[in-house]
Amino acid sequence: MKIILASASPRRREILEKHGIEPVVMPTAADETLPENVDMTVAVKTLAERKARACYECIKRDPGLSDKYEGYVIIGSDTIVWKDEIMGKPVDAEDAYRMLDSIRGTSHYVVTGVCLIDLNSGDFAVIHDITEVWCKDYTDEDIYDYISREEPYDKAGSYAIQGYFGRYIDHINGDYENVVGLPYYRIDETLKKYMF
């Protein structure tokens, strides 16, 4: 399968590689501003489509790239954590503490949007997946220990389920890979359904 991943996320690349796909990694700049009070699924689908389209337009502007990547499908993706608000990447330790405090001992949602664009035809599909994640009732000391590490600061919601924070996850309802950043099973079924 010929895939261009419009993301610099090593986690997304690793998920594709785990499923036997060696993607071409081609992140591009896209507008990530959203209106206030936007629905969580609308937010991720909007951002995923912007990222995929930015990559598509970059390739289409360059005849050399268009020829080189003929027959490829672009994947753009965006993941958020939702607990009464969109939780993006923390701006500092105080912000990380606030997020981790708000999700302890309760559940929150991890939502990933994915946009697939066929480079040849321009046909596209935008999908999303939602996983409910339940956290254990960890202590303030646990939070301070965690935010003293590097892990929280480039992650939506200030945590990585596949990393050190995994010990504080009680259980999930839904797809684990979606929480990591890419719901592969949804991508696979969409590729098969629309014959990209």
Q: What is the pLDDT of residues 20-76, one digit of tens each?
A: 999 999 998 898 888 888 999 999 999 999 999 999 999 999 989 999 999 999 999
For range 124-148, the mean pLDDT? 97
The secondary structure element, H or E, covering residue 170 is strand 169-173
pLDDT tens sequence across 62-107 = 989 999 999 999 999 999 999 999 998 899 999 999 999 999 999 9
Which of these is catalytic: 31, 39, 67, 78? 78
CA-derived radius of gyration, the chain:
17
pLDDT at 194 over 80: no
Domain extent listing, the chain:
3-194
Query: What pTM, to 2 d.p., does this model score?
Result: 0.92
Please list the alpha-helical segments (H only) found in the chain. Answer: 10-18, 40-60, 63-68, 93-103, 140-147, 176-180, 184-194
Checking DSSP bridges between strand 86-87 and strand 73-82, what pairing results, if any?
Answer: antiparallel
User: Roughly what angle, to the nearest 10 degrees, separates helices 184-194 and 10-18?
Assistant: 60
In words, the CATH class of domain 3-194 is alpha beta
Instruction: Look up 145 and say whether it is catalytic.
Output: no
Can you read off the two tokens belonging to residue 187? Answer: 């991508």
